[in-house]
Amino acid sequence: FCFYCGEESPKTSPNIPSTMPSRPDRKDFRAIAMLQLIVTLCCQFQTTSAFGFPTPFTKNKATNGVNNSNLLSKIPIVICPGFGNDQIDYLNPLDQGDEYGFVSALVRRGFDSNLIQVLPLERYEWVNVARGLFDIPNFYTGNCRPDGLGYGWYVKRLRKTIEEAYEKAG
Protein backbone atom coordinates (compact mmCIF):
# COMPACT_ATOMS: atom_id res chain seq x y z
CA PHE A 1 0.00 0.00 0.00
CA CYS A 2 1.40 3.40 -0.98
CA PHE A 3 0.79 6.06 1.68
CA TYR A 4 1.46 8.86 -0.79
CA CYS A 5 -0.97 8.04 -3.57
CA GLY A 6 -3.31 5.64 -1.76
CA GLU A 7 -2.94 2.83 -4.29
CA GLU A 8 -2.56 -0.80 -3.38
CA SER A 9 0.79 -2.31 -4.32
CA PRO A 10 0.62 -5.51 -6.36
CA LYS A 11 2.69 -7.45 -3.86
CA THR A 12 2.12 -7.62 -0.12
CA SER A 13 5.11 -6.85 2.02
CA PRO A 14 6.23 -9.80 4.17
CA ASN A 15 6.74 -7.47 7.16
CA ILE A 16 3.10 -6.34 7.28
CA PRO A 17 0.58 -8.86 8.57
CA SER A 18 -2.45 -9.35 6.34
CA THR A 19 -4.80 -8.61 9.26
CA MET A 20 -3.48 -5.06 9.61
CA PRO A 21 -6.21 -2.57 8.64
CA SER A 22 -5.50 -0.67 5.46
CA ARG A 23 -5.50 3.10 5.25
CA PRO A 24 -8.78 4.46 3.85
CA ASP A 25 -8.49 5.34 0.17
CA ARG A 26 -9.53 8.57 -1.50
CA LYS A 27 -13.00 7.23 -2.21
CA ASP A 28 -13.58 6.86 1.54
CA PHE A 29 -12.47 10.43 2.16
CA ARG A 30 -14.72 11.67 -0.64
CA ALA A 31 -17.65 9.77 0.84
CA ILE A 32 -16.99 11.27 4.28
CA ALA A 33 -16.68 14.77 2.79
CA MET A 34 -19.91 14.30 0.86
CA LEU A 35 -21.71 13.12 4.00
CA GLN A 36 -20.46 16.18 5.91
CA LEU A 37 -21.67 18.42 3.09
CA ILE A 38 -25.11 16.81 3.10
CA VAL A 39 -25.43 17.19 6.87
CA THR A 40 -24.36 20.84 6.64
CA LEU A 41 -26.85 21.58 3.88
CA CYS A 42 -29.65 19.82 5.73
CA CYS A 43 -28.99 21.98 8.78
CA GLN A 44 -29.19 25.11 6.63
CA PHE A 45 -32.57 24.14 5.20
CA GLN A 46 -34.25 24.53 8.57
CA THR A 47 -36.85 27.26 8.85
CA THR A 48 -34.78 29.38 11.21
CA SER A 49 -31.16 29.54 12.19
CA ALA A 50 -29.80 29.31 15.71
CA PHE A 51 -30.49 33.03 16.24
CA GLY A 52 -34.03 32.95 14.93
CA PHE A 53 -33.27 34.58 11.56
CA PRO A 54 -35.12 33.06 8.61
CA THR A 55 -32.98 31.25 6.09
CA PRO A 56 -33.21 32.26 2.42
CA PHE A 57 -34.53 28.83 1.42
CA THR A 58 -37.84 28.89 3.25
CA LYS A 59 -41.03 30.91 3.21
CA ASN A 60 -41.98 32.66 6.37
CA LYS A 61 -45.68 33.00 7.15
CA ALA A 62 -45.12 36.48 8.57
CA THR A 63 -43.77 37.73 5.22
CA ASN A 64 -46.65 36.26 3.16
CA GLY A 65 -44.24 34.80 0.61
CA VAL A 66 -42.01 37.90 0.33
CA ASN A 67 -38.44 37.02 -0.63
CA ASN A 68 -36.44 36.41 2.53
CA SER A 69 -33.27 37.77 0.93
CA ASN A 70 -34.74 41.20 1.68
CA LEU A 71 -34.88 40.22 5.33
CA LEU A 72 -31.31 38.92 5.24
CA SER A 73 -30.04 42.17 3.80
CA LYS A 74 -31.11 44.00 6.97
CA ILE A 75 -29.33 41.76 9.47
CA PRO A 76 -26.01 43.08 10.81
CA ILE A 77 -23.29 40.43 11.10
CA VAL A 78 -20.12 40.53 13.17
CA ILE A 79 -17.62 37.79 12.45
CA CYS A 80 -15.48 36.92 15.46
CA PRO A 81 -12.06 35.55 14.48
CA GLY A 82 -11.25 32.32 16.27
CA PHE A 83 -8.21 31.82 18.48
CA GLY A 84 -5.06 32.57 16.50
CA ASN A 85 -6.93 33.90 13.46
CA ASP A 86 -6.63 37.28 11.79
CA GLN A 87 -9.43 39.33 10.26
CA ILE A 88 -7.87 38.76 6.83
CA ASP A 89 -8.60 35.04 7.19
CA TYR A 90 -12.28 35.88 6.70
CA LEU A 91 -11.82 38.48 3.96
CA ASN A 92 -9.05 37.12 1.72
CA PRO A 93 -7.88 33.76 3.08
CA LEU A 94 -4.32 32.80 2.14
CA ASP A 95 -4.28 35.64 -0.42
CA GLN A 96 -6.51 33.58 -2.72
CA GLY A 97 -8.78 36.50 -3.49
CA ASP A 98 -11.77 38.14 -1.85
CA GLU A 99 -14.18 35.84 -3.68
CA TYR A 100 -12.97 32.93 -1.49
CA GLY A 101 -13.57 34.73 1.80
CA PHE A 102 -16.32 34.05 4.30
CA VAL A 103 -17.63 37.59 3.90
CA SER A 104 -18.15 37.17 0.15
CA ALA A 105 -19.88 33.83 0.81
CA LEU A 106 -22.37 35.62 3.06
CA VAL A 107 -22.91 38.32 0.41
CA ARG A 108 -23.63 35.61 -2.19
CA ARG A 109 -26.26 34.23 0.19
CA GLY A 110 -28.11 37.54 0.32
CA PHE A 111 -26.56 39.44 3.22
CA ASP A 112 -25.69 43.12 2.77
CA SER A 113 -21.92 43.61 2.46
CA ASN A 114 -22.19 46.98 4.24
CA LEU A 115 -23.64 45.27 7.32
CA ILE A 116 -20.98 42.55 7.57
CA GLN A 117 -18.06 43.38 9.82
CA VAL A 118 -15.09 41.29 10.87
CA LEU A 119 -13.76 42.02 14.32
CA PRO A 120 -10.60 44.08 13.66
CA LEU A 121 -7.87 41.80 14.92
CA GLU A 122 -4.37 40.84 13.87
CA ARG A 123 -2.70 37.53 14.56
CA TYR A 124 0.00 38.91 16.87
CA GLU A 125 -2.64 40.29 19.25
CA TRP A 126 -3.46 36.78 20.46
CA VAL A 127 -0.34 37.03 22.62
CA ASN A 128 -2.54 39.09 24.95
CA VAL A 129 -4.16 35.84 26.06
CA ALA A 130 -0.96 35.07 27.95
CA ARG A 131 -1.83 37.89 30.35
CA GLY A 132 -4.36 35.48 31.80
CA LEU A 133 -1.44 33.62 33.40
CA PHE A 134 -1.10 36.55 35.78
CA ASP A 135 -4.73 36.34 36.87
CA ILE A 136 -3.80 34.67 40.14
CA PRO A 137 -5.45 32.54 41.54
CA ASN A 138 -8.33 32.50 39.02
CA PHE A 139 -6.29 31.11 36.12
CA TYR A 140 -4.83 28.27 38.16
CA THR A 141 -8.13 27.30 39.75
CA GLY A 142 -10.10 27.47 36.47
CA ASN A 143 -12.23 30.43 37.59
CA CYS A 144 -11.23 33.06 35.01
CA ARG A 145 -13.90 35.42 33.80
CA PRO A 146 -14.39 36.40 30.13
CA ASP A 147 -13.69 40.02 31.01
CA GLY A 148 -10.50 39.12 32.91
CA LEU A 149 -6.89 39.55 31.91
CA GLY A 150 -6.83 36.73 29.35
CA TYR A 151 -9.74 37.62 27.08
CA GLY A 152 -10.99 40.95 28.41
CA TRP A 153 -9.32 42.81 25.54
CA TYR A 154 -11.16 40.60 23.02
CA VAL A 155 -14.55 41.00 24.70
CA LYS A 156 -14.19 44.81 24.88
CA ARG A 157 -13.28 45.04 21.21
CA LEU A 158 -16.10 42.66 20.28
CA ARG A 159 -18.62 44.72 22.26
CA LYS A 160 -17.47 47.90 20.48
CA THR A 161 -17.72 46.23 17.05
CA ILE A 162 -21.20 44.88 17.79
CA GLU A 163 -22.39 48.32 18.90
CA GLU A 164 -21.00 49.85 15.67
CA ALA A 165 -22.74 47.20 13.57
CA TYR A 166 -26.02 47.77 15.43
CA GLU A 167 -25.83 51.55 14.84
CA LYS A 168 -24.91 51.02 11.19
CA ALA A 169 -27.94 48.77 10.66
CA GLY A 170 -30.27 51.33 12.19
* CA separation, residue 58 to residues 5, 67, 121 (Å): 43, 9, 35
Name the phi and psi angles at 137, rounded to 5: -95, 0
- Helix (H) / strand (E) element for 44: namely helix 26-44
Predicted confidence (pLDDT) per residue in 80-131, tens digit: 999 999 999 999 999 998 899 999 999 999 899 999 999 999 999 999 999 9
Q: Are 22 and 1 in contact (CB under 8 A)?
A: yes
